[in-house]
């Protein structure tokens, strides 16, 4: 039931000095001058996760022009922008007082990527802003004056400055929304252009450091080689030119430290759209591109890795390969097969994080270790089949082995951070110096089998409660298990990690039984998210989720150690 803000002030006054639990009385929705404030859930004590607040306002009251949310893409980008501007203001007003999280105000907002998230959502006419507030206490007794300051001064100021159009930077908000829309349109157009990735002329690819995703200052801007230059007309930005990486097999070669991995990493992240100023705006990749790496130690459950691996010692079956502790080569093979199973269209592979014996087997090794003694059919003999038979392209960083020249459709050489197209030269060299290798790939790639998980795979219960939680970006606690996502390099936001945890449960409850394969069930799960939004995964309102891709969702399930396959 809706109550007056004055009523809230009245309750607060009566709470001063009382035990923290009395704050529970605040739960409810209150009418402020231009918005409603809903106190959805009050924390149990000052050290517990902060209380959940939602600010609800009819969008027209913010004065934001309709054009900025007139379609779904714009809606996503606008909400992303508002979460950031709200966050910026919380940083101004959020303070520390008393014990625990007292006086802290916090909202989830994105970093370099623009993602669909549920901290700010625009449902029909209403803008909802979900954030967290540490209700103030001294020890465990309520500090009502401080709470009043937070609710009646700080939050209104944050809302006023962070959400009201006349206080926002109009050029910034437009750029944010329209460049996002442009990038999404560009991503959709890649397939009609027969390219898997587009790297804008002048883009800044390198990052500040390995742990800091902002652009490197003083970096050399991307220069597009004329052979691969493409020009595209986009609604907002107009004509944009850049390098189009064609479908098929592409090699990125070049000397050490010349920028190969940096280029591949930018391509990996191109499955997301970036904020203005990131440097990777309009660096856009097929949304179904997946980074593949070796991941020894992972578990693998009944994956048919026989296209790559056969005749393991002790007669271990590779058409339904099971291990609690995969090796370098078998983990990389499983990662590829699982990617194909879920429908990936492009594989992104870096020699830096690959198993060498999975990637290559040269003439000398073929002579010393006979085929009968080597379980692996190396990737070099399979990568062409992947494109010919399934239309799956590969972009491969390979500075160490020229044997790949024989099968590459396009060869890009990085030289002092600048790309050159050297396909012809590489072909010429391949003609001149034969590798002498015997192709070990067989006639066909082999078939991709769809697997169906069993219900007992998924148990989110721990101590009689559902326990699903993200512990940092790359770890999910699922019931009594820990899922290690550190090999999923395209996971970028902890909100995605949380959402994946809940989505596993959602899939297990809603679609597992009545679908025939993991792929089918997860596609239906993702279709629900597309249709109804992220909120459907939880029974209560909490704005800390961001939308993951189906690839990472499947990746988490595939790494669940309790996974059982029919
Ligand atoms: N355009 C650029 N301008 C400035 N520095 C860059 C640029 N591109 C990459 N770098 C920096 O150069 C360094 C080497 O880049 P990168 O790791 O991509 O090299 P690499 O070719 O993959 O090397 P290796 O063969 O040893 O794996 C990194 O520190 C990276 O941040
Ligand atoms: Mg490298």
pLDDT tier, 187 (very low <50, low <70, confident <90, very high otherwise): very high
Whether the CB of 279 sits within 6 Å of ligand 1? no
Q: In the structure, what pLDDT confidence band is assigned to residue 95 with cuts at 50, 70 and 90?
A: confident
Instruction: Evaluate whether 344 touches 196 at the Cβ level (below 8 Å).
Output: no
Q: Are 519 and 343 in contact (CB under 8 A)?
A: yes
Q: Could you tell which of 203, 206, 283, 489 is best to mutate to test the pocket of ligand 1, judged by most ligand atoms within 8 Å of the CB? A: 206
218 lines ligand 1 (CB under 6 A): no
Q: Running DSSP on this structure, what letter comes out for residue 364?
A: H
DSSP label of 50: P
Task: Tell the residue number behind the tokens 């910034």, with chain if given.
Answer: 172
Burial class of residue 516 in the structure, from the number of CB atoms within 10 Å of its CB (0-12 exposed, 13-18 middle, 19+ buried): exposed
Average pLDDT, the chain: 97
- Asked if 414 and 395 touch (Cβ cutoff 8 Å), the reply is no
Q: Which residue has a Cα nearest atom 1 of ligand 1?
A: 220
Antiparallel, parallel or unpaired: β 273-274 and 113-114 = antiparallel
Ligand number nearest to the C-alpha of 263:
1
Q: Are residues 514 and 526 in contact, defined by beta-carbon separation less than 8 angstroms?
A: no
Angle between helices 494-510 and 550-558 (to 10 degrees): 70
- What backbone torsions phi and psi does residue 341 show, to the nearest 5 degrees? -60, -40
pLDDT tens column, 453-511: 999 999 999 999 999 999 999 999 999 999 999 999 999 999 999 999 999 999 999 99
Residue among 261, 265, 395, 396 to mutate when testing ligand 1 (max atoms within 8 A of CB): 261
Q: Say which residue the tokens 């940092």 belong to.
A: 472
CA of 255 to the centre of ligand 2 (A): 9
Which residue is closest in CA terms to ligand 1's atom 15? 259
| Interval between CA 478 and ligand 1 midpoint (Å) | 37
Q: Mean pLDDT, to the nearest integer, of 143-168?
A: 97
Write the pLDDT tens digit of every residue in 274-295.
Answer: 999 999 999 999 999 999 999 9
- pLDDT for 31 beyond 90: yes
Residue with token string 């008393």 = 98
- CB 205 near ligand 1, within 6 Å: yes
Report the half-sphere exposure of 554 (CA within 13 A, side-chain side): 28
Ligand 1 centroid to Cα of residue 396, in Å, is 16
Q: What is the mean pLDDT of residues 410-434?
A: 98
pLDDT of residue 159: 98
Q: Whose CA is nearest to atom 24 of ligand 1?
A: 256
Q: How far is the CA of 414 from the centre of ligand 2 (A)?
A: 11
pLDDT band at 1 (very low <50, low <70, confident <90, very high): confident
For the record, the structure tokens of 199 come out as 């790297």
Measuring from atom 8 of ligand 1, which residue has the nearest CA?
259
Does the pLDDT at position 551 exceed 90?
yes
Give the 3-state secondary structure of residue 563. Answer: coil
Q: Nearest ligand, CA of residue 215?
A: 1
Distance 263 CA to ligand 1 centre (A): 8
Per-residue model confidence (pLDDT) at position 313: 87
pLDDT digits (tens, 9 = 90+) for 192-233: 999 999 999 999 999 999 999 999 999 999 999 999 999 999
Distances (CA, A) of 386 to 252, 350, 444: 18, 17, 9
Predicted confidence at residue 316, as pLDDT, reads: 87
Whether residue 357 is predicted with pLDDT greater than 90 in this model: the reply is yes
Report the residue count for the chain.
566
Position in ligand 1 atom list of the atom nearest CA 258: 21
Local confidence band at 163 (pLDDT 50, 70, 90 cut-offs): very high
Instruction: Express as a percent the part of the chain with pLDDT over 70.
Output: 100
CA dist 562 and 284 (Å) reads 36
Determine contact, residues 114/180, Cβ cutoff 8 Å: yes
**Shortest-distance atom of ligand 1 to CA 418:** 1
Return the structure tokens found at 253: 């070669």
Minimal CA–CA distance to 382: which of 443, 316, 340, 292?
Answer: 443
Concatenated DSSP letters for 398-462? -SS-GGGGGT-SEEEEEETTEEEE-HHHHHHHHHHS---PPP-S-SS--------B-GGG---EE
Q: What does the alpha-carbon distance between residue 440 and residue 13 come to, in Å, rounded to a whole number?
A: 79
Look at 84 and 315; give whichever has higher pLDDT: 84
pLDDT beyond 90 at 444: yes
Q: Is the CB of 91 under 6 A from ligand 1?
A: no
Angle made by CA atoms 313, 315, 316, in degrees to the nearest 5: 85
Atom of ligand 1 nearest to the CA of 204: 1
CB neighbour list of residue 85: distance below 8 Å, 6 or more residues apart? 161, 162, 163, 168
User: Is the beta carbon of 354 within 6 A of some atom in ligand 1?
Assistant: no
Ligand 1 center to 400 CA (angstroms): 16
User: What pLDDT was estimated at residue 309?
Assistant: 97
Q: Atom 14 in ligand 1: which residue has the minimum CA distance? A: 257
Strand, coil or helix: 489: coil
Contact 564, 454 (CB under 8 A): yes
Residue 514 confidence class, pLDDT cut points 50, 70, 90: very high
* Structure confidence at residue 94 (pLDDT): 84
**How many whole angstroms from 292 Cα to the centroid of ligand 2?**
14
Residue 264 CB less than 6 A away from ligand 1: no
Confidence of residue 96 (pLDDT cuts 50, 70, 90): confident
Q: How far apart are CA 429 and CA 10, in angstroms?
A: 83
Two structure tokens written together for 259: 């920028």
Per the CB < 8 A criterion, the answer to whether 284 and 230 are in contact is no
For residues 381 and 362, the answer to whether their CB atoms sit within 8 Å is no
């Amino acid at each position: 039931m809706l109550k007056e803000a004055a009523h809230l002030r009245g309750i607060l006054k009566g709470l001063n000095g009382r035990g923290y639990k009395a704050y529970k009385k605040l739960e409810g929705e209150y009418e402020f001058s231009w918005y409603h404030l809903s106190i959805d859930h009050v924390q149990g004590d000052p050290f517990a996760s902060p209380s959940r607040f939602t600010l609800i306002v009819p969008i027209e009251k913010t004065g934001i022009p309709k054009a900025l949310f007139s379609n779904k893409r714009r809606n996503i980008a606008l909400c992303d922008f508002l979460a950031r501007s709200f966050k910026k203001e919380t940083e101004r007003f959020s303070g520390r007082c008393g014990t625990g999280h007292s006086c802290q105000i916090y909202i989830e907002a994105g970093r370099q990527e623009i993602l669909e998230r549920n901290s700010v959502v625009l449902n029909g006419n209403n803008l909802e802003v979900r954030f967290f507030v540490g209700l103030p206490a001294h020890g465990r007794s309520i500090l009502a004056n401080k709470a009043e300051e937070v609710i009646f001064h700080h939050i209104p100021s944050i809302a006023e400055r962070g959400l009201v159009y006349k206080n926002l930077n109009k050029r910034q908000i437009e750029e944010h929304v329209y460049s996002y829309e442009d990038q999404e349109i560009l991503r959709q157009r890649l397939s009609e252009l027969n390219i898997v990735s587009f790297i804008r002329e002048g883009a800044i690819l390198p990052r500040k450091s390995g742990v800091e995703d902002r652009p490197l200052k003083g970096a050399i801007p991307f220069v597009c080689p004329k052979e691969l230059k493409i020009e595209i007309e986009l609604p907002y930005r107009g004509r944009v030119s850049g390098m189009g990486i064609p479908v098929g097999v592409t090699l990125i070669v070049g000397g050490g430290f010349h920028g190969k991995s940096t280029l591949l990493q930018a391509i990996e992240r191109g499955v997301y759209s970036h904020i203005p100023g990131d440097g990777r705006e309009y660096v856009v990749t097929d949304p179904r591109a997946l980074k593949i790496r070796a991941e020894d130690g992972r578990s693998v459950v009944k994956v048919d890795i026989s296209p790559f691996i056969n005749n393991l010692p002790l007669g271990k079956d590779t058409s339904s390969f099971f291990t609690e502790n995969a090796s370098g080569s078998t983990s990389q093979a499983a990662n590829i097969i699982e990617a194909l199973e879920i429908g990936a269209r492009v594989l992104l592979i870096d020699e830096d994080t690959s198993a060498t014996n999975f990637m290559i087997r040269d003439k000398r090794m073929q002579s010393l270790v006979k085929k009968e003694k080597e379980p692996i059919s190396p990737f070099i003999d399979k990568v062409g089949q992947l494109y010919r038979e399934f239309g799956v392209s590969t972009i491969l960083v390979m500075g160490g082995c020229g044997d790949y020249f024989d099968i590459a459709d396009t060869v890009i050489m990085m030289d002092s951070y600048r790309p050159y197209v050297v396909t012809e030269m590489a072909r010429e060299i391949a003609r001149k110096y034969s590798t002498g290798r015997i192709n070990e790939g067989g006639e066909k790639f082999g078939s991709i089998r769809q697997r169906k998980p069993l219900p007992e795979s998924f148990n989110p219960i721990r101590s009689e409660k559902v326990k699903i939680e993200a512990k940092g970006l790359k770890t999910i606690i699922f019931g009594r298990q820990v899922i290690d996502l550190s090999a999923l390099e395209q996971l970028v936001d902890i909100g995605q990690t949380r959402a994946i945890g809940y989505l596993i449960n959602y899939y297990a409850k809603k679609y597992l039984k009545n679908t025939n394969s993991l792929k089918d069930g997860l596609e239906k799960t993702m279709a629900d998210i597309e249709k109804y939004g992220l909120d459907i995964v939880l029974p209560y309102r909490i704005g800390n989720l961001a939308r993951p891709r189906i690839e990472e969702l499947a990746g988490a399930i595939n790494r669940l150690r309790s996974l059982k396959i029919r």
